[in-house]
Amino acid sequence: MARELTLTGNENERNSFLKKLSGDIGSNKFGPRLLALLNTIAVPIILLALWQILAGSGLLLEVILPSPVKVVKAFVEMVKDGSLGADLVLSGKRVLIGYLWGAGIALILGMFSGLNKVAERVFSPIINVIRQIPLYAWMPIIILWFGIGEVSKEIIIARGVLIPIYLNTLQGIKGVQADYFELAEVLELKKAVFLRKVVLPSAVSSIFTGLRLGAGNAWMAVVAAEMLGGLTGLGYALMKSREFLWSDKLIALMVVIGVIGVVIDVILRKIEESTLRWKKKTAK
Amino acid sequence: MSQNTILEIKNVSKVFHTKDKDVEAIRNVSLNVNEGEFISIIGASGCGKTTLLRLIAGLEKEYGGDILLDGKRVEKAGLDRGVIFQEHRLLPWLSVEENLTIGLEGTKKELHNLAAEYLKKVDLENFEKVYPGQLSGGMAQRVSIARALMRHPRILLLDEPLGALDALTRMNMQTEIDRIREEEKTTMIMVTHDIDEAIFLGDRVVVMKPRPSEVDETITIELPRPRLRSSEDFAFYRNAIVNKFNHSIMEYAI
């Protein structure tokens, strides 16, 4: 909320206003935060306990539902023998390359389409058709054309990343208020200044939504691509675990995939926040 | 009052074309504005006063008649006309200083000093690093006035600049604008629907009537500044304008 300062020209009042502004930032209390944390982890802890009880009861075969303890052991084993690390590095590299390509293309096309009607009429229908064909339906032909090597996995990931980033970038840029275009006219802003200081900042939230959705897709796509072809990576490790009935490893791998997905999302959100410093200062 | 004409509005009309009909927003408006003069344009909502201001600002590009600024026909917006919109239109992601200096050329230090100088003029010293969302409505509007003044416009156009403010802030801001006018000697045209505001600030008050929108009457306010809203002379002008309004409303009703 904005504060009212109705008297003009009163120096004391003005200074105390400025002081208040700076004092309001960074007053986080520990107690409420702890409570919020408990709030978040309560249900997972209960589920974990239920899982342990169910697995320990002997009602289910161990191959169907291994106990949490066994899953942790499998995880430690995979870390120790280096297989998890190797798979992670391979999958991570594929995700990174595919993501950078997909995001790069999507950002360029999205901004272009957002600023130029002709470009939008060219690209939006194409992207829409690509979007309507599910990622999994693309895989056979991509593998047919590019084999089961790295390139086809990177293309599959890039395809998964392309859609949400394109759509959100386009929407963000088209959402720039008409008022700001008038302002640019009145202030005779140059195109480059208008883009950098007005268009991009007002689209940045939307663009980051796209980048985060894209990152989720990338991680999903790499696992799918590795399950379909190749002999390395987390997806392949999942398939192998299923074939050998290593259900403890299977679950451990799933958890690892989930946790990494969350970590990527958190990192992207932190980057987003750092670009939206003004919002933090303003929202109270 | 100097008699140098800075802005000539000659038989200006504007028609908006919509899908199924043409709407005549203003018809045949003529007005001369002298250098350093403060013109208040007042009228009921829908009388085309904002359209007239947007035409002068160059935000509406097609119109009949001529609007001449220093003898040159207005065809588009430009830095020679400062515009204060009803909302402050500051960019929320830029600090006050960045908002003030956007698009200006100069070294960082020059721009900083310029921003500081103009913040002082609108009584907001030390607000450089504050973001617009942290400001009250009156403060934000003062920053937007500073933004316009910094570009040394020939004429400042104010489109109901205080319309969104509460009554008390509004009165303070009127005093503030009067002070700025006194110090900067900038020619100003303000659109308002507040009679007191029009009289308090205007050298002349242009009363417009709606449908079709025309100039009804131009009243010269011969009161010493700063003006007292409570004075008898002030009340005289207030009554004159209120009567004018009643009259034109009656005409419209018949």
Question: A196: domain CATH number?
Answer: 1.10.3720.10
Q: How far is B123 from chain A (nearest CA, A)?
A: 6
A160 in a domain, yes or no?
Answer: yes
SS3 state at B209: strand
Q: Does B88 touch chain A (CB under 8 A)?
A: no
Residue B230 pLDDT > 80, yes or no?
A: yes
Q: Which of A255, A214, A265 is nearest to A110 (CA)?
A: A214
Amino acid A84: pLDDT: 93
Amino acid at A156: I
pLDDT, tens only, A212-252: 999 999 999 999 899 887 788 999 999 999 999 899 999 99
The string over A181-214, giving b where at least 16 C-beta atoms fall within 10 Å of a residue's C-beta and e elsewhere, is: ebbbbbbebeeeebeebbbbbbbebbbbbbbbbb
pLDDT band at B24 (very low <50, low <70, confident <90, very high): confident
Work out the average pLDDT over A47-51. 91
Domain B5-80+159-253's class?
A: alpha beta
For the beta carbon of residue B205, count every other beta carbon within 10 angstroms. 25
Q: Are B33 and B67 a contacting pair, CB within 8 Å?
A: no
* ipTM, interface predicted TM-score of the complex: 0.89
Amino acid B3: pLDDT: 67
Q: Which residue in A2, A8, A198 is closest to B91 by CB distance? A: A198
Amino acid A10: pLDDT: 52
SS3 state at B242: helix
Q: B22-26: long-range contacts (C-beta < 8 A, 24 or more apart)?
A: B24/B212, B24/B213, B25/B51, B25/B213, B26/B51, B26/B52, B26/B55, B26/B212, B26/B213, B26/B214
Domain boundaries, chain B: 5-80+159-253, 90-152
Q: Which of A77, A118, A15 is nearest to A249 (CA)?
A: A77
Residue with the larger pLDDT of the pair A10 and A80: A80
Contacting residues for B85 by C-beta, under 8 A, at least 6 apart? A179, A182, A183, B144, B159, B161
Amino acid A3: pLDDT: 43
Q: B174-181: long-range contacts (C-beta < 8 A, 24 or more apart)?
A: B174/B200, B174/B201, B175/A8, B175/B226, B176/A8, B176/B122, B176/B123, B176/B142, B177/B145, B177/B201, B178/B225, B178/B226, B180/B121, B180/B122, B180/B145, B180/B149, B181/B38
Amino acid A28: pLDDT: 57
Assign 3-class secondary structure to B110-149: HHHHHHHHHHHHCCCCCCCCCCHHHCCHHHHHHHHHHHHH
Q: Which residue in A5, A186, A201 is closest to B139 by CB distance? A: A5
pLDDT band at A6 (very low <50, low <70, confident <90, very high): very low
Q: Is B48 left (phi over 0), alpha (psi -120 to 50) or beta?
A: left
Q: Does B228 touch chain A (CB under 8 A)?
A: no
Asked if A186 and B57 come within 8 Å (Cβ–Cβ), the reply is: yes
A137 in a domain, yes or no?
Answer: yes
Domain hosting A103: range is: 74-282
Q: Which of A110, A107, A88 is nearest to A99 (CA)?
A: A107
pLDDT, tens only, A85-131: 999 999 999 999 999 999 999 999 999 999 899 999 999 999 999 99
Q: What percent of chain A has pLDDT over 90?
A: 63
Q: What percent of chain B has pLDDT over 90?
A: 74
Taking an 8 Å Cβ-Cβ cutoff, which residues of chain A contact chain B? 2-9, 14-15, 18, 21, 179-180, 182-183, 185-190, 193, 197-198, 201-202, 276, 278-279, 281-283
Residue B155 pLDDT > 90, yes or no?
A: yes
pLDDT, tens only, A249-273: 999 999 999 999 999 999 999 998 8
Work out the average pLDDT over B50-57. 94
Q: Does B135 touch chain A (CB under 8 A)?
A: yes
- Fill in the DSSP letter of residue B180: H
pLDDT band at A275 (very low <50, low <70, confident <90, very high): confident
For β-strands B155-159 and B81-84, DSSP reports them as parallel
Assign 3-class secondary structure to chain A: CCCCCCCCCCHHHHHHHHHHHHHCCCCCCHHHHHHHHHHHHHHHHHHHHHHHHHHHCCCCCCCCCCCHHHHHHHHHHHHHCCHHHHHHHHHHHHHHHHHHHHHHHHHHHHHHHHHCHHHHHHHHHHHHHHHHCCHHHHHHHHHHHHCCCHHHHHHHHHHHHHHHHHHHHHHHHHCCCHHHHHHHHHCCCCHHHHHHHHHHHHHHHHHHHHHHHHHHHHHHHHHHHHHHCCCCHHHHHHHHHHHCCCHHHHHHHHHHHHHHHHHHHHHHHHHHHHHCHHHHHHCC
Residue A16 pLDDT > 90, yes or no?
A: no
Q: What is the chain A residue with the closest CA to B156?
A: A186
CA-based angle A224:A230:A235, to the nearest 5?
35
A12 in a domain, yes or no?
Answer: no
Asked if A6 and B59 come within 8 Å (Cβ–Cβ), the reply is: no
Residue with the larger pLDDT of the pair A60 and B230: B230
Work out the average pLDDT over A186-190. 95
pLDDT, tens only, B65-121: 999 999 999 999 999 999 999 999 999 999 999 999 999 999 999 999 999 999 999
Amino acid B19: pLDDT: 86
Residue with the larger pLDDT of the pair B20 and A22: B20
* Chain B residues touching residue A7 (CB < 8 angstroms): 172
Amino acid B245: pLDDT: 79
Contacting residues for B146 by C-beta, under 8 A, at least 6 apart? B100, B115, B118, B119, B121, B122, B124
In angstroms, what CA-CA distances link B226 with A51, B23, B160, B187, B198? Answer: 80, 40, 21, 17, 13
Q: Residue A10 and residue B148: Cα distance in Å, rounded?
A: 24
pLDDT, tens only, B197-229: 999 999 999 998 877 778 888 899 999 988 998
Residue B243 pLDDT > 90, yes or no?
A: no
How many domains, in total, are found in chain A? Answer: 1
Amino acid A1: pLDDT: 40
A257 in a domain, yes or no?
Answer: yes
Q: Which of A148, A170, A154 is nearest to A230 (CA)?
A: A148
Amino acid A125: pLDDT: 95
Amino acid A8: pLDDT: 46
Asked if B151 and A18 come within 8 Å (Cβ–Cβ), the reply is: no
Q: How far is B244 from chain A (nearest CA, A)?
A: 33
Residue A171 pLDDT > 90, yes or no?
A: yes
